[in-house]
Amino acid sequence: MNYSIYMNYYWLLLISFFPISLLSQNMDDDMIISEQQSTYRYVIENNRVVVKENQDILYSCIKNVQPVTFFRFYDINSEITKIRVKGVKASSPKYETYAQENIFYDDSKVCHLTLQFKDRDEVGRVTYEKNYKDPFGFSFINIVEPHFIRNKTIRIIVPQWMEIDIVENNFDRGISSSKSMDPNSGNTIYIYQVENREAYRHEEFMPDYMLTFPSIQVVPRKAVVNKKSEEYFYSFDHMYRWCKSKADMAENDHEVVAHLAKEITKGSETDRDKINALLNWVQNNIRYIAFEYGVQGFKPDEAQAVIRKKYGDCKGMSNLLKCLLQAEGFDARLVWINTTDAGREWKLPIPSADHMICALHHDNEFHFLDPTVKFMPFGEIAYPIQGKMAMVEDGDHYLMLRTPLLPPSHNSIQLVSRYVVEDGRLKGESELSFSGEPKYGITSAIRYTGSADRNIYLKNFLKSNNPTDSIFGLQIQGIEVGSGNLSISYEELRPSSLRSFSDELYVDLDVFKEFAGLVIDTLKRKNDYAFSFCQMIRNRIIIEIPEGYRMKDIPADMEIVTDDYRFSIRYTIEEQSILYQKEITIKNRTLSKSNFLQWNKDIGLLKNAYTRQITLEKN
């Protein structure tokens, strides 16, 4: 399975089935899992290796009686064969295909029911059986649940004829493990004991599930069935052949694709123009949707189907881009890659890639193209796949290549302003520039805002919650296809930035005051904080000292440097002007809980620096 995307999908569905109040259970909450037994066993049926899952889950009430929604997922490669409820009344199980925005994930299904508790003394037991039709479908065991777990035991029973590897992710002292051999059967038994595990809690800006919560990955290596050896993911070669076999299932109509490629590249003069035109067409004409797990977690949709439906997942969009590029004579290939969210390197041959992109071999080097990122031009690379090991299609073989890792300055916002004092307000001209991820975001916002509302949106954005200010003379550059940077030039009148009292003027040069409100609630926050990406924000603002005035007081400089971030504010007097320079750099995407107190302290210092003003007095 595609682990990281599977768990993103798993918890997306979890959130859709449970109110948020049930996603943050702890020892003081209402309904808990007092005991859970989970057993997974490899067996042979009809000369095939299958996996049998048995679950026995005991729900108890420790405070207020609440209904409990129980659910489990399955697909075309698995089936839930039995489900029973004892001890409490329950609704009949429902077996449904999950759909979002009228797009059906054909092989993704859910079985769910509701346990109706009447009083605190009731105990509800759910037992169910699930069959995985082949070892590929059984690859992940989640440890956390949407309820607090008092005790949980997980057993993986592996016969002598089966060989697997187990990868333990994010284990802590609340999980113990052991391994033993049954002297009678020769089975190897892996046992995991889980105690007092808090319920899964979804929070905004939390790291990916695979980086946060404990889980078990099960990797089938090989089996001996009727004296014949069947290899699964025994080596990287086996893994590549398996992944490519699923990609090759897409029967692309190259005639349809070639006709579209000619239309898209009409008028393109250079190879770069053609590449940008094709990349931009897929980015902005195909709607990205969440993935389909099961076989659809690896098989791309046919190129002509994506063209017709106007939507696709990363596999379908990358397959389409590859076909379009090949139709124009370029050397394009599919790429399996782990994103930053997945938090993994390919040290073992596990088909764990949570993303698919397209590689282009052009001018003797590989370029990595992600068609799911709108308005990203050829030559740039999306932040989530920077510095990651990529498995690149190469016929019957593969190439393991590392993608470029760009510094935080690649994702930059830069403001350059010059002000004068006029009629009791600051009057100025500014240019606000965006590159990298901020550029993709602001370009998307501008392009998808109607022309009538675009100026209103931009003016409100540039006013930054200062309704008395005025923005005019807006000019946008870099909105066109293939542009590296986007810049917004404008004129402004800012009465909010100037105050006067007696013979003194008080000047506030920082309009946006980035991060001033980002104080983390250390009492409520359970998980690390994940920024969208590493980035750099720079301001260079000049104010001319008006005639008849002189500088009376200027705020002190501020410099905060840690391994995770840098805050810097500096003032410089230059003849009859004052230069304000600010730099904020987010070096690491994830801020750990252990650094929350220091972060809050430093944000307090930054916020305090924002409140300090330049004081000018009459000569």
pLDDT-derived band at 9 (thresholds 50, 70, 90) equals very low
What pLDDT, on the 0 to 100 scale, is given for residue 223?
Answer: 94
Q: At what angle do helices 254-264 and 314-327 cross, to 10 degrees?
A: 70
CATH of domain 238-406: 3.10.620.30
What pLDDT, on the 0 to 100 scale, is given for residue 12?
Answer: 38
CATH class, 409-618 region = mainly beta
Coil/strand/helix, residue 325 = helix
Q: How far apart are CA 389 and CA 350, in angstroms?
A: 13
382-405: average pLDDT = 93
Name the percent of the chain lying above pLDDT 90.
Answer: 72
Domain 3-231 grouped into CATH 2.40.50.180: no
Q: Are 325 and 285 in contact (CB under 8 A)?
A: no
Residue 588 has pLDDT above 90, yes or no: yes
pLDDT in tens, 14-30: 433 433 333 333 444 78
Q: How far apart are CA 53 and CA 48, in angstroms?
A: 16
600-619: average pLDDT = 96
H or E element, residue 278:
helix 271-285
Q: How far apart are CA 10 and CA 105, in angstroms?
A: 13
Task: Say which residue the tokens 């100025």 belong to.
Answer: 428
pLDDT-derived band at 478 (thresholds 50, 70, 90) equals very high
Name the percent of the chain lying above pLDDT 70.
Answer: 92
Residue 512 has pLDDT above 50, yes or no: yes
Q: How far apart are CA 562 and CA 595, in angstroms?
A: 10
Q: How far apart are CA 34 and CA 12, in angstroms?
A: 25
Residue 294 has pLDDT above 50, yes or no: no
pLDDT-derived band at 341 (thresholds 50, 70, 90) equals low
Closest CA to 298 of 244, 261, 348: 244
Prediction pTM value: 0.84
Q: How far apart are CA 449 and CA 455, in angstroms?
A: 9
Q: Are 162 and 229 in contact (CB under 8 A)?
A: no
239-267: average pLDDT = 94
What pLDDT, on the 0 to 100 scale, is given for residue 344?
Answer: 67
103-126: average pLDDT = 82
pLDDT in tens, 485-502: 999 999 999 999 999 999
> What secondary structure does DSSP assign to 476-540, as a single string?
EES-STT-SEEEEEEEEEEGGGEEEETTEEEE---SS-TTTT----TTT--S-EE-SS-EEEEEE
What pLDDT, on the 0 to 100 scale, is given for residue 40?
Answer: 98
pLDDT-derived band at 137 (thresholds 50, 70, 90) equals confident
Q: Give buried/exposed letters for 441-457 (b at 16+ CB in 10 A, else e).
A: bbbeebeeeeeeebeee
What are the C-alpha distances in Å from 133 to residues 6, 130, 137, 218, 500?
Answer: 18, 10, 7, 15, 77
Closest CA to 312 of 339, 290, 340, 329: 290
Instruction: Write the CB contacts of 559 (distance below 8 Å, at least 6 apart in sequence).
Output: 567, 568, 569
Instruction: Write the CB contacts of 567 (distance below 8 Å, at least 6 apart in sequence).
Output: 558, 559, 560, 583, 584, 602, 605, 606
* Token output for 432: 């606000």
> What secondary structure does DSSP assign to 36-103, as a single string?
EEEEEEEEEETTEEEEEEEEEEEEEESSS---EEEEEEE-TTEEEEEEEEESSEEPPPEEEEEEETTE
176-190: average pLDDT = 96
Q: Give buried/exposed letters for 102-130 (b at 16+ CB in 10 A, else e).
A: eeebebbbbbbbbbbbeeeebebebebeb
What are the C-alpha distances in Å from 17 to residues 10, 413, 609?
Answer: 11, 39, 45
Query: How do the domains of the chain map onto residue ranges?
Result: 3-231, 238-406, 409-618
pLDDT-derived band at 51 (thresholds 50, 70, 90) equals very high
Mean pLDDT of the chain, nearest integer = 89
58-68: average pLDDT = 89
Coil/strand/helix, residue 317 = helix
What pLDDT, on the 0 to 100 scale, is given for residue 2?
Answer: 41
329-356: average pLDDT = 83
What are the C-alpha distances in Å from 418 to residues 262, 325, 490, 557, 580?
Answer: 47, 45, 11, 20, 10
pLDDT in tens, 558-580: 999 999 999 999 999 988 999 99
Residue 506 has pLDDT above 70, yes or no: yes
pLDDT in tens, 64-95: 888 999 999 888 889 999 999 999 999 999 99
Residue 8 has pLDDT above 60, yes or no: no
Q: Which burial class, exposed, middle or buried, applies to 208 when counting CB atoms under 10 A from its CB (0-12, 13-18, 19+)?
A: buried
* Cα 451 versus chain centre, distance: 30
pLDDT-derived band at 343 (thresholds 50, 70, 90) equals low
What pLDDT, on the 0 to 100 scale, is given for residue 15?
Answer: 37
What pLDDT, on the 0 to 100 scale, is given for residue 297?
Answer: 67
What pLDDT, on the 0 to 100 scale, is given for residue 413?
Answer: 97
Cβ neighbours around 53 below 10 Å, total: 19
Q: How far apart are CA 78 and CA 266, in angstroms?
A: 47
Q: Which of 96-110, 292-306, 420-434, 548-562 has the lowest mean pLDDT?
A: 96-110
Residue 107 has pLDDT above 90, yes or no: no
Residue 277 has, within 13 A of its CA and on its CB side, a CA count of 18
pLDDT in tens, 190-222: 999 999 999 988 889 998 887 889 999 898 999
Rounded (5°) CA angle 204-205-209? 95
